[in-house]
Amino acid sequence: MREINWRRRLLQLVIALYACAMLGVVAMIAGPALNDARIMQSPGRGMATVTEVGMLRTSVEYQDEQGRYHSPRYGLLYPSGLGEGQRVWVTYSTADPGLVKVEGRGWTLAIIPALSVAVVSTLVAAAALYGVGAACGRREAKMRL
């Protein structure tokens, strides 16, 4: 039976977790960019009323250009700074009225949060790589003595 090289396995684990974090960073930017592209393929404009502001979602109700009322199931995109009862202009996809964003706001708002996640993840990964190297290096040095 082969002996497990713990240092190598721990380094692989740190690198795999870092890769997952970077994939999350890409998704934080790509998701909003794709949503904005879908909205801009067939845009509509309407006045919305904010019905609920929660931790995970801001709910709105708006009337489309045909006079139908919609309340998107997953809430409003880019809702920061909105309050309950507030009326705002929204841009929505006429092909998918559940895809709604505050007019004038876009995917570029996701860049700063994504970059902050990337920086923190890089610092944590660097510290973990250093820690694994230092801890395993000391252990290997003691074993040789």
The tens digit of pLDDT for each residue in 71-123 reads: 999 999 999 889 999 999 999 999 999 999 999 999 999 999 999 999 999 99
Greater confidence, 77 or 139?
77
Instruction: Decide: 114 and 33 in contact? Cβ < 8 Å.
Output: no
pTM: 0.79
Residue count (the chain): 145
Q: Tens of pLDDT along 16-67?
A: 999 999 999 999 999 999 999 999 999 999 999 999 998 889 999 999 888 8
- Position of tokens 């919609």? 70
Which tokens sit at 63? Answer: 């009337």
- Is residue 31 within a helix (H) or strand (E), and if so which, with residue range? helix 6-41
Helix, coil or strand: residue 4: coil
Residue 31's CB is within 10 A of a number of other CB atoms, namely 13
